[in-house]
Each structure stands twice: as C-alpha cells, then as structure tokens.
Amino acid sequence: MLTMTNMDGTRPIRVMLVDNQTLILDGFARIIDAQPDMSVIATATDGETAIRTARQAKPDVILMDIRMPGLDGIQTTRTIIRDLPETHIIGLTSYDTDAYAIGMLDAGASGFLLKNSNAERFLDAIRATVSGNTVMDTTTMNRLNQRLAAASARTSTTAKASADDGETSDSGNNDLPDFTSREHAILARIVQGDSNEQIAARLGVSVSTVKTHIGNILRKTGQTNRVRLIVWAARHLHGL
C-alpha cells in the first residue's frame, strides 16, 4: 500500500471520526480534508464499530463523541487506548460537564473539547495532540484553575493558622499537597495545556527547571504523567 505524503515529504495526520450523527461526521470531514497536513481515513457511528475500525485503520488521532448509544465514548476510548496506545483521542461533547472531561482523560484520551468550538480550535487540537500535548476546553480549564486557586488559598490559610497556634498542620487535611508557589503556578499552566517550553517562557525560567518542578509535583501527587496529573487535579479539586 502506498503511503501518501505532503509536498514537503511529511505524512498527513491520519484522523478517524466517531459520532452517531452523520451530519456531524460530514461536517468534520469537510473541514479536516481541506487541510494540507491531515486527512480523514475512517469514520464510525457507534463504539463497537469504532473499536473494530480503529484496529484496522490505526489512525493517529480520533475525534470521539462521548454520548453514543450502546458503548459510550469513554468506554470506547479505554478499549482503543489499551489496544493502540500510540493513538491520540480527543473527546467531543455538547455537554460542558467535568465528569465527561475527567472520564475521557482517565480513559486515556489526550483532550476534551465542546462541539461548539470553532473549526480552528479543532484543527489546532489535532495538531497539538500529535505533538504530545493535552488539550482541554477553555471553560473546563478555567474551572479547574479557579478550584486550584481556591484550594491553594485554603491550604495557605490552614498552614498559617496552624503556625500561629504553634502547631504543625496535617497535610492530609489540606486540599492540596505542600506545593511551593512555583509548583502552584506550573500546575495551573499544565491544566491550561502548556508545554514545558511554554511554561518556561511564561515564567522566565529554563526548561530544565520546569521539568524539575513537574517531577516534584508528580511525586507529591503520586501521578506518573501530565494527563494523570490533570485527572488528579480535576478529581481532587472537585471531590470526584
């Protein structure tokens, strides 16, 4: 089988679409196929078909509807990621709920977007996930960061009160582990989906310094990667 390449010799991003509404599939396909660096190679309208098709087509990225009859997008994502761990999946939904976002990320997805996002946002998300980044809907990210800031403030207040009373605060009762101010800032940028390079530029530090801080954050939270860290933040700050 011949492998299609762009004029610069690169292979287009192979995208698969999964949605039980054919009008949505057609709309996404037209937008994606109009791009020089990506193409739609397969579609499916239900979870079971999506699993079989993904195993055969081996796409780079899957845009996955979350609410589908039968096997939903979260269950489908978990199975596909188990079989094809190199595939990047972006969850799509019309319902702006943290439970869907957390469920998709927990299943192994690389991102979560609302269907009412503009076309450029979807295209940027596809490119970003292939580069190893996590993408999140802006409103979801904002809510997580608001909870992070609130939890950080409560933790600081508890620590200060304990210090004033001459007591050692019990970190197990705090909302967050004993993060430094820099770790708080970096965790907020991770939730926003920033890369190490973007965080370093924003904070005015080196990439190696960012990596060191991220390692400390992962150790303190008991997580192993960025996606797991975002899931942890969402659950920890929302009581899920």
CB 229 within 8 A of CB 218: yes
CATH number, domain with residue 217 = 1.10.10.10
Whether residue 183 sits in one domain with residue 160: yes
Residue numbers of the domain that contains 214: 139-238
Q: How many domains does the chain have?
A: 2
| Partners of 92 in the β-ladder | 65, 113
Dihedral angle sign, alpha carbons of residues 31, 37, 38, 39: positive
pTM, full prediction = 0.74
Task: Tell me the pLDDT tens digit for each residue of 49-95.
Answer: 999 999 999 999 999 999 998 999 999 999 999 999 999 999 999 98
Whether residue 58 is contained in a domain is answered as: yes
Average pLDDT, the chain: 84
- Three-class DSSP category at 2: coil
Task: Tell me the pLDDT tens digit for each residue of 132-176.
Answer: 888 888 887 777 767 766 665 655 554 444 444 444 444 444 556
Whether residue 185 sits in one domain with residue 165: yes
Whether residue 169 sits in one domain with residue 120: no
Whether residue 128 sits in one domain with residue 35: yes
120: buried, middle or exposed (CB in 10 Å: 19+, 13-18, 0-12)?
exposed
Whether residue 156 sits in one domain with residue 64: no
Task: Tell me the pLDDT tens digit for each residue of 93-137.
Answer: 998 887 888 889 889 999 899 999 999 999 999 999 999 888 888
